[in-house]
């Protein structure tokens, strides 16, 4: 006969809950809602990385692979 503590039972229950297969569309919708909540909470004076690191399309890119660094 094994004796389990309440904490161990709770941990086992949470493992079972996390291992349950989820619907992909429901998961995508939930993660999209979470992301939208994070965006809403951002400061107004912040800008997104895509805007900050933007490069204009008028600039010609060099051809070929970038050179490798010699260490």
Full residue range of the structural domain in which residue 25 is found = 6-42
Q: How far apart are the first and last CA of the chain?
A: 61
Does 27 map to a domain? yes
In percent, the amount of the chain with pLDDT more than 90 equals: 0
Does 16 map to a domain? yes
Assess whether pLDDT exceeds 60 at residue 1.
no
Give the total number of structural domains in the chain: 1
- Is the backbone of residue 64 left (phi > 0), alpha (psi -120 to 50) or beta? left
Which pLDDT belongs to residue 21? Answer: 75
Q: Which residue has the higher pLDDT, 58 or 7?
A: 58
Write the DSSP symbol of residue 46.
-
pLDDT category at 63 given cuts 50, 70, 90 is confident
Closest among 38, 33, 59, 58 to 48, alpha carbons compared = 38
Which pLDDT belongs to residue 2? Answer: 62
Does 25 map to a domain? yes
Residues 6-32: pLDDT tens digits? Answer: 666 667 777 777 777 778 888 888 899
Does 47 map to a domain? no
Q: CB within 8 A of 63, min separation 6: which ones?
A: none
Does 56 map to a domain? no
Does 38 map to a domain? yes
Does 70 map to a domain? no
């Amino acid at each position: 006969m094994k004796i389990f503590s309440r904490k161990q039972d709770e941990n086992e229950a949470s493992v079972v809950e996390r291992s349950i297969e989820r619907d992909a569309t429901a998961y995508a919708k939930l993660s999209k809602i979470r992301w939208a909540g994070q965006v809403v909470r951002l400061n107004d004076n912040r800008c997104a990385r895509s805007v900050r690191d933007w490069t204009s399309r008028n600039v010609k890119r060099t051809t070929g692979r970038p050179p490798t660094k010699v260490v």
